[in-house]
Amino acid sequence: MILSQFQTVGHDLFTKGLVSSHSGNLSIRLGGRIIITRRTSRLGCLEEHDLIETGINKNDRNTPLASIELAVHRAIYRETPALAVVHAHPPHAVALSLTETEIVPTDTEGQTIVGRVPVLGWHMKVESGGLADIIAQALKKHRIVMVHGHGTFAIGQLLEEAHNCTTTLEESCQVICLLKSLQVGVPKK
């Protein structure tokens, strides 16, 4: 049941091109425990051994096997009511994160589901697992945030919800990029 949720979301992110072969990570919270994708797992074809269970606050022998973004996922669960986290590298959103400090969807679905999305980490050297506290704080007010030149972190009560935020933001970013390429800018309402 849990595995099939991870597989559905991971496969969809991969086939949509929102993660590359070994990038991105997914997790859910179960009380004081976290189930997170394994370090260097392939989201497009997850199997049972790719799901690593460890503590949110405590390390154990499984901790070194977890995704390199474990510190960010843990901080999010400590600071927000989220029960699921999706991290992806959607190309249009990443492109806009290199030029904007905030992404503001122009399409109705984007405005409704994701709203204004802050771009975090400008002028900071960000390594994997970095910015954990800044990302967690921002996710108290947003369902999804962008890390400058890197990717998205989305939250939800279910993986499916965080996945929906991720694909919706990417679609909004695609529309913004198309408008920019047509040089029409954002139409005024």
| Footprint on this chain of Zn ion (rule: CB under 5 A) | 151
Closest residue to Zn ion, judged by C-beta, is: 151
Query: Which residue number, 16 or 180, has a Cβ lying nearer to Zn ion?
Result: 16
Rounded Cα distance between 50 and 168, Å, is 26
Query: Which residue number, 26 or 51, has a Cβ lying nearer to Zn ion?
Result: 26
Long-range CB pairs of 36-41 (<8 Å, 24+ gap) are: 36/66, 36/67, 36/70, 36/73, 37/6, 37/10, 37/66, 37/67, 38/65, 38/66, 38/67, 39/64, 39/65, 39/66, 39/67, 39/68, 41/67
Q: How far is the CB of 177 from Zn ion (least distance, A)?
A: 20
Q: How far is the CB of 186 from Zn ion (least distance, A)?
A: 28
Q: How far is the CB of 76 from Zn ion (least distance, A)?
A: 14
Query: Which residue number, 67 or 168, has a Cβ lying nearer to Zn ion?
Result: 67
Query: Which residue number, 85 or 175, has a Cβ lying nearer to Zn ion?
Result: 85
Q: How far is the CB of 39 from Zn ion (least distance, A)?
A: 12
- What order of strands is seen across the sheet that includes strand 25-30? 51-55, 33-37, 25-30, 84-88, 151-156, 144-147, 117-120, 102-103
